[in-house]
Structure 1
């Protein structure tokens, strides 16, 4: 794949699915005008995130959509020639998942169910159980949702499965327990950037990190969407405001350059690592 433009969105989404779809359509249009071939939208862009992460109200959860819901198919239609990743609450019958889907005009390219759930989410969602990369017209992609990127094993699993681009979809709030007077001083704001850069650098891949903005219930979302190169350098970012972070990347060439001397994936020593006791 030659040079492509990657866009990571920062925007607010709520429970109004019609409003959400209209905002997604606008972001796709803006990304297309910027020349983007890949757009990563935030977690829970269809239906919004939880209003309370510590004690979710079971009567006020995001609307659950079937994997082939017409709204998801409409996002695929809007994507047309682009590749678009979008988050939603998946209706799994007796279970609900915090999920993401990657689409183009050709249909569904890949899916992911969030594996790592922070304490409050376990009351609303069932965790997923795997990380799989998948092929797309813009390269091989792996998706992470929110808390997944806190765990190095998540991104590493996708990199070992051949992912060249990590799409990290988030609804990541400021610190709930220790709020800072300014966003730049917020603990979660610092961690959000740290994880994005570390996951890209340690795996020597390109990372596109989207996030929600605004507020939902008692939570205020960070924004800070960005595109990160395989050396961990931030190529484009939105800071706290809504918008698109757009960067032009030669994915294969940039990854090859990063791995020219030090090839992290090849130089691992699995026999020296503690095995999972489970």
Structure 2
């Protein structure tokens, strides 16, 4: 049996404050027996304050993958597997990135591929999806808008991912914000994508998200763990917290695929691959 935790919490520009929050969340998860903890996108340094026109003077701090703050998260993780997001520095480029770590170091990484609105003004785009082995099984990662595209999660599932960690700093609608968060279009879509990506690939999905506000952004929360049948096993709703579910991942996936196995029953030759003229 594996305990998976998906976090809803707020993170900002103060890296030391972020690290203290990460330490508290890991401590609470460890106390509850969590072996895989998925923190939100931009857990170190916070997300963009304005998605349409990011101010270059107020971007998240860019960190190298071997930065002391990253090393500190690895140390805090110790025996646990922890996924978290940060702004990655690579020469003069920035990436919206995620790392999966233990106390032994980095197990896997992902650079966000799909970019909404003005995010390309702040970040370069990644170019691949790949799963990787961890002490808790084979894992793949998505960041924010990546999960809007079915191909993203499908690529990870075809690469053997049993658990998809979907890290987000997902806000309410920027163009048509509803008076109540539960009525917001993005709130509905966030849940829909989480459940659809798990069900169509028959994998477990751990969806984290930021809470609170940063600049003009108001984040949804709604962290959850979704089973391979698309059922929500645990969730936080809009408030901060950790959604924790305990399950036998391999057995749950085997059960979901016992009669209908979506991955092996695909018909790739029938799918249009070329772009329309």
Q: Given the two structures, how large is their TM-score scaled by the length of structure 2? A: 0.99
Counterparts of 1:9 and 1:63 in 2: how far apart (Å)? 22
* Residues in 2 aligned to 1:108 and 1:22: alpha-carbon distance in whole angstroms: 20
Q: In the alignment, what sits opposite 1:267?
A: 265
Tell me the residue number matched to 1:139. Answer: 137
Which SS does the other structure have where 2:205 is aligned?
strand
Q: Structure 2: how far apart are the matches of 1:231 and 1:99?
A: 28
Partner of residue 181, structure 1: 179
The CA distance in 1 between the partners of 2:274 and 2:223, in whole Å, is: 33
Q: Once the 2 structures are TM-superposed, how far is the Cα of residue 22 of structure 1 from its aligned partner?
A: 0.3
Indicate which of 86, 89, 97 corresponds to 2:87.
89
Shift of 1:276: 3.5
Distance across 1 between alignment mates of 2:94 and 2:272? 33
Which residue pairs with 2:101 in the alignment? 103
Match of 1:190 among 176, 188, 195: 188
Alignment of structure 1 residues 60-209 onto 2, 5 Å: 60-209=58-207
Q: Deviations over 1:155-183 (max 9, x none)?
A: 00000000000000000000010011111
What residue in structure 2 maps to residue 242 of structure 1? 240
- Deviation at 1:90? 0.2
Counterpart in 2 of 1:21?
19
Q: 5+ residue gaps in structure 2?
A: none
2:160 is paired with a residue of what secondary structure?
A: coil
| 1:73 Cα offset (Å) | 1.0
Structure 1 segments of 4 or more deviating over 4 A?
A: none
DSSP-derived class of the 2:29 partner: helix
Between the two proteins, the alignment pairs up a number of residues equal to 276
Displacement of 1:48 after TM fit?
0.2
Structure 1's unaligned 5+ residue stretches are none
Q: CA deviation at 1:94?
A: 1.5
- Output the CA distance in 2 between the equivalents of 1:249 and 1:135: 18
Cα drift, residue 70 of structure 1:
1.1
Q: How far, CA to CA, are the matches of 1:277 and 1:110 in structure 2? A: 31
Taking the aligned partners of 1:219 and 1:194, their CA distance within structure 2 comes to: 21
RMSD: 0.8
Which residue matches 1:38?
A: 36
Give SS of 1:65's match.
Answer: coil
